[in-house]
Structure 1
């Protein structure tokens, strides 16, 4: 394994935070060459400290895996504005909605992730969430807060508090709304 002299490829450089859709926010620790099956590959070494994970991604695969730079401040503001909107819960079966939420989370798109946070958010006076709803909400919240934390140079706790403050501004979903969507699910 030999480290490359120039530490920038395709607009990405070492020491830079990026978003890798399947894992969230990571840090490009190095750009290195490695020989695999007789071929020399140039790899981004991406560290995901929160998951204690190091990923090596071939430079040529960056587009196909959807790796991107952190969102701009405007996009962060749009995402925070998105969570203040009314939850848009489709009237389809939970399993179908769960797949759609999972796809949005793994898309790496901050706005799509903020839609999942908005749609699955429950305040204390609202009906309980199922285990799978809670898991998806926490996964989306984690991805969103990590990116906002990196963009706005906040601690993770401050980023979560910022999102929760925005969520508190959203129109309240009543128990009647939840019961209505549950009865529609059962009918489907």
Structure 2
């Protein structure tokens, strides 16, 4: 992949980032090319060896077909999740870490639906917020629009999918034991 300064890419866990510098660095006596990325939603700056871009999961922003696929995932039925909080949390963290926008969409959809019905633990609430931030930042860039518009569209798609889904059991949330 070829990258240019000013180009916007997606970095797993953090969402959209701008390439602010491409430079050579000497590492253990070898000269290596590095990309310096500034995360759009924060002041975080990340340096990534160009040779490791694909391994790390840095990729281009999705196109219009990708946006349509994201909204299909958001409206689709949820996948059966583990009833065990820690297993479910670990699976969702792995999906988020993958950097795959469709897997991140699954995390947002499934946790949002669980929050509507059974509630979420504090850890899952934080995970939902992070996954949603990553998804919203990329969708805003892909659609060349602002994040508040994307937030509204995301809420509409999730609400639409919930209305089409049969009622769920509204029992006590599945939370880890206090300790």
- TM (norm. structure 2) is 0.86
Map 1:84-103; keep pairs closer than 5 Å. 84-103=75-94
Change (3 A) 1:96 1:125: closer
Unaligned runs of 5+ in 1: 1-9
SS in 2 for 1:51: coil
SS in 2 for 1:12: coil
Give yes or no for the alignment of 1:110 onto 2:105.
no
Greater gyration radius: 1
Q: How many residues align?
A: 175
1:11 corresponds to: 2
1:75 corresponds to: 66
1:179 corresponds to: 171
Change (3 A) 1:134 1:125: closer
1:37 corresponds to: 28
Unaligned runs of 5+ in 2: none
Deviation per CA, 1:69-102: give whole Å up to 9, x if none.
Answer: 1111111111112111223342341101100101
Work out the CA distance in 2 between the residues paired with 1:53 and 1:46.
8
The correspondence for 2:53, drawn from 62, 68, 78, is 62
CA contact (8 A) 1:91 1:181 kept: no
Change (3 A) 1:176 1:37: closer
Q: CA deviation at 1:48?
A: 0.8
Work out the CA distance in 2 between the residues paired with 1:155 and 1:70.
15
1:46 corresponds to: 37
Change (3 A) 1:91 1:48: closer
- TM (norm. structure 1) is 0.82
